[in-house]
Amino acid sequence: MATDQVLSGSAPAGKSSPGAAQAAEPKRAQISRLPSLTGLRFLAALSVFVYHASIPIPSLRLLADDRTEFQLFRWFDPAGGLGVSFFFVLSGFVLTWSARDKDTTTGFWRRRFVKVYPNYVIAWVLAMVLFASDFTSTRIALTNLFMVQVWTPEYYTNFSVDPPSWSLGVEAVFYLSFPLLLALSRRIDPRHLKYWITGAIAAVWATPALAYAAFPKTPLVPSGQDLPATAYWFNYVLPPVRMVDFALGILVALAVKHGRWRNIGMIPSFVLLAGGYWLTYHVPALYGQRATMIIPIVLLIAAAATADIEGRFTLFRNRTMIWLGEISFAFYLLHYIVLAWLRKQLGTEMYSNTAGISLLVGAAAGTVVLSWLLHRLVEVPLVRRFSRSRRTARAKADA
């Protein structure tokens, strides 16, 4: 794909001067909510659910038929990397889009902490009580609780307790870095954003090449995939490396705000995403984790945002998709817990394809209900109560 062609233009109306681009930002920034991106968040979370539901390991597997089980895993293996990469880019995009000019660094950090950590701790407790304490050491459990499990190249530490929570350890680093990254990114001339975006995409593609060259080919990760363990950690888990995905979201958001993005539309973006998914089967495994889908992910996020800005119809701006998107963070944290607890409750019995898939559909539905409860009873009240300091809330009330 000709990435520079996509990035070099501005809004569909044609090229704009730097002054026009600067003037376009306040108008676009008035649209602070991008509901289609909220709806897409659930699809990303669901893709991670499907990936975990297809993993053929004893603690999750339900299907008795080996052929079906391993075929499903082959189909959905790339879905986990897709969902995580989408979330990382989306985080940078949404935080940049909604950034407040008068916000303080500590105010931003406070809101992120209140939004993320209580849900994270509840998921940690549930996982430990329901299954993880059976095989998790105190050291690894505490490493997970304090979100530092991603800093060591140990597979069973990275994916400990509630395995999907590793990405929140990475996101925590993003949040700590965001005020500085945003300040630096805003200093880039809008006309030059295309070069920075292209460079970030090139860095994502260069990372697996570096990982293959710099790290030993053995041992492999315990999942049975042909992935060197240390290279896998470096390419997929290590926060400074994944920071490129997050920074890419920041840069793309600024390009859209300044009218420096040439939108190709959501349907072409989905088609390209399908192509990137297909490509994962035809490249070395580390490339398939991030690189093959990074450009379509960027294009899709920008296309959905542009559709909302311009008021055009999307399938993801209806009430159901927005509601699912709002509970998607809780869904992401809880889905593995539901799958692992279900497998534990069922004992060693294996099931026919029809029965097993029905159980997985039921697990997804049950996770949605539990996610709504966590969102409604914990996330929303805590955000309302503690997202602003008492001094800030009092000053706002007195104004």
Going by C-alpha positions, the residue among 56, 43, 36, 85 that lies closest to residue 236 is: 85
Angstrom distance (rounded) from CA 34 to CA 95: 11
- 181-204: average pLDDT: 97
Angstrom distance (rounded) from CA 323 to CA 292: 30
Reading the block at residue 47, the tokens are: 């893709």
Output the DSSP codes for 230-284. HHHIIIII-HHHHHHHHHHHHHHHHHHHTT------HHHHHHHHHHHHHHGGGS-
pLDDT band at residue 72 under the 50/70/90 scheme = very high
Q: Tell me if 280 sits within 8 A of 253, measured CB to CB.
A: no
Higher pLDDT, 167 or 6: 167
95-141 pLDDT, tens per residue? 999 998 888 999 999 999 999 999 999 999 999 999 999 999 999 99
Output the DSSP codes for 47-95. HHHHHHHH--STTT--BS-HHHHHHHHHHHHHHHHHHHHHHHHHHHHHH
Q: Tell me if 117 sits within 8 A of 326, measured CB to CB.
A: no
Q: Phi-psi region for residue 59, left (φ > 0), alpha (ψ -120 to 50) or beta?
A: alpha
pLDDT band at residue 22 under the 50/70/90 scheme = very low
- 63-83: average pLDDT: 94
Domain boundaries, the chain: 3-398
pLDDT score for 174? 98
Over the chain, what is the mean pLDDT? 90
79-106 pLDDT, tens per residue? 999 999 999 999 999 999 999 888 899 9
pLDDT score for 4? 38
Q: Tell me if 386 sits within 8 A of 117, measured CB to CB.
A: no
Please identify which residue in the block is written with the tokens 């939108």: 263
